[in-house]
Chains A and B, each alone.
Chain A
């Protein structure tokens, strides 16, 4: 029995399910999930310009059940559209950690794959996969709307076949991702989200969740205190 705050939680990780219909139910859930996705497009770079054509009348992404969503907490897909500068990457990670599981990341443009055109730039993060688990990459500079939609369909197929598990990797290998983030942002890097606590809650913690980098995080982590707001009526 673990606890979140003072509330006891029945986390029964690894318990074998006995219901014979569980597999059928999972398939049904995956089918539904793959057909109603809300995407949060973070316009990190140039690729954002091909999203309005893909979303509006001509290419019409909505027929696949994909709609833009304005808040990270209600979104399923995080679209990282283009190169991420170091300043942006902090916000991308914050946004990603706020999203509810299961969550998927799509890296659009060559710049998210290997740095692309800005491989020698001092200001950009080159490989997105080092900082966030990416489900699907759409290469191209910039990918056409058809390519964007094809990437979306590939993600839908992955989810339907039960292969969209990249988000679990973030919990399972948190030390690796955190290490890369600390390498870029400095040792005092921290986010308000308690990833280790979430990993425990989902039963996804492995040996690689902890390591030297999470120990550095613990040294610098400050407890979050609610701000006192003064509201006058």
Chain B
């Protein structure tokens, strides 16, 4: 990098100046940079600088076998990897017209919701830390770790599981797993009051987060906002209910919304969603033992698997928003093209750039964390 690129650039004949935030900065989520033009403390304009995490995923996937790609898809979004595996498997099943056994579908939904809990707990901590409250980040990471322990028992991996394959899941749940999951949910519910007192109703946090980074519903739809960020503007759109996949239409849950559209509304939506996930998991614990049968459909030799010609677009609701894969097969052993619609690729680029205008510099980190943007998903 040339030295002039990272020094503070003084613009001639004005009080405006430019400032880099990131890529190595505690106020930035991950490896991501944001270039701000400032007048005093006010942001005049912002420019997102992505590409630090680019690995060329979509090209890499064209060079690997269908089954090998399962190992790299979870790397696209690190805090919430399960939806990546599931949606990739869904597209392959859709092309192959494969039917997933019912028990496999229930186990998939169980993982999806557990992953959502883990991801939201991580976000609470990160968001609170940007306002100077570090206790929630310690709590959130510690409680998330218990969910990772459950994942480790189920799949063998703490963060990356590679447990879903086209056709179902790799193996059945271990003995007594549902009891331990139930214990974890009990524990989370006892923590609800603590989290509310510490963070969600704490005036120190509420005053800092209210009326910061406001977007209204029209803007949100125009900018392609999805997921909890959209529901914080009052529109109850959720792929799980409006375009159900797997067995979500058999489950009973609500879509939490808020109307304010600010940082506080976004974190409150996530809080409510977390406890809706607990509610879904309770139903799964109740129903899963009565669903008998295999956990995956038979697939051909995975190392010589020519998926039949066709294309498919599938979407799921990840913790960041709507996540979708467009997969094209030309009948060969490798995908012809895979396109990923990362949920945060809208949030971290144009939404953040638009929202930063007029904000104070100390709120930029909070806005970014409240959008729950995941930089690896932007760059891929």
Contacts and interface: CB of A to CB of B under 8 A. Distances in A.
Contacts of B10: 227-230
A56 interface: yes
B142 A58 contact: yes
B175 interface: no
Nearest to B375: A43
Contacts of B78: 46, 48-49
A105 B286 CA distance: 50
Interface stretch (A14-22, A82-90, A131-139, A211-219): A82-90
Interface stretch (B55-63, B104-112, B329-337, B361-369): B55-63
Given A40-B24, A85-B52, A192 B31 contact: no
Contacts of A56: 137-138, 141-142
A191 B6 CA distance: 11
B137 A52 contact: yes
Interface in B123-167: 125, 137-138, 141-142, 144-145, 148, 158-160
A120 to B, nearest CB: 6
B84 to A, nearest CB: 12
A53 B141 contact: yes
A57 B138 contact: yes
Interface in A102-141: 117-118, 120-124, 141
A150 to B, nearest CB: 16
Q: How large is the interface on B (under 10, 10 to 19, 20 to 34, 35 or more residues)?
A: 35 or more
B55 A224 contact: no
B23 interface: yes
Q: Which of A48, A88, A228 has the most CB of B within 10 A?
A: A88
Interface string A205-233: 00000000000000000101001111010
B119 to A, nearest CB: 11
B204 interface: no
Nearest to A59: B145
Interface residues of A, number: 44
B53 interface: yes
A204 interface: no
A217 B8 CA distance: 24
A11 interface: no
B8 A87 contact: no
A118 B55 contact: yes
B159 A49 contact: yes
Interface in A19-64: 40, 42-46, 48-50, 52-53, 56-58
B358 interface: no
B136 to A, nearest CB: 11
Given A46-B376, A56-B138, A232 B55 contact: no
Nearest to A95: B24
A120 B56 CA distance: 10
A69 to B, nearest CB: 10
Contacts of B6: 94
A6 B141 CA distance: 52
A227 B11 CA distance: 11
Contacts of A190: 2-3
B24 A144 contact: no
B9 A227 contact: yes
A118 to B, nearest CB: 5
B71 A88 contact: no
Contact of B145 (A58, A121, A192): A58
B159 A120 contact: no
A186 to B, nearest CB: 11
A174 to B, nearest CB: 18
Interface of A: 40, 42-46, 48-50, 52-53, 56-58, 70, 72, 83, 85, 87-88, 90-91, 94-95, 117-118, 120-124, 141-142, 144, 190-192, 222, 224, 227-230, 232
11 contacts: A44-B52, A49-B159, A50-B158, A53-B148, A56-B138, A57-B141, A87-B54, A88-B31, A117-B71, A120-B63, A222-B3
Top 9 nearest A-B pairs (CB, nearest first) are: A192-B3, A52-B141, A88-B52, A56-B141, A46-B78, A49-B78, A56-B138, A229-B10, A123-B56
Interface of B: 1-3, 6-10, 12, 15, 23-26, 30-31, 51-56, 59-60, 63, 71-72, 75, 78-79, 122, 125, 137-138, 141-142, 144-145, 148, 158-160, 376
Given A52-B125, A85-B55, 20 more contacts: A44-B31, A44-B53, A45-B31, A48-B31, A49-B79, A50-B159, A70-B25, A85-B51, A88-B23, A88-B53, A91-B52, A117-B72, A118-B55, A118-B60, A120-B60, A120-B63, A121-B55, A141-B160, A191-B1, A229-B10
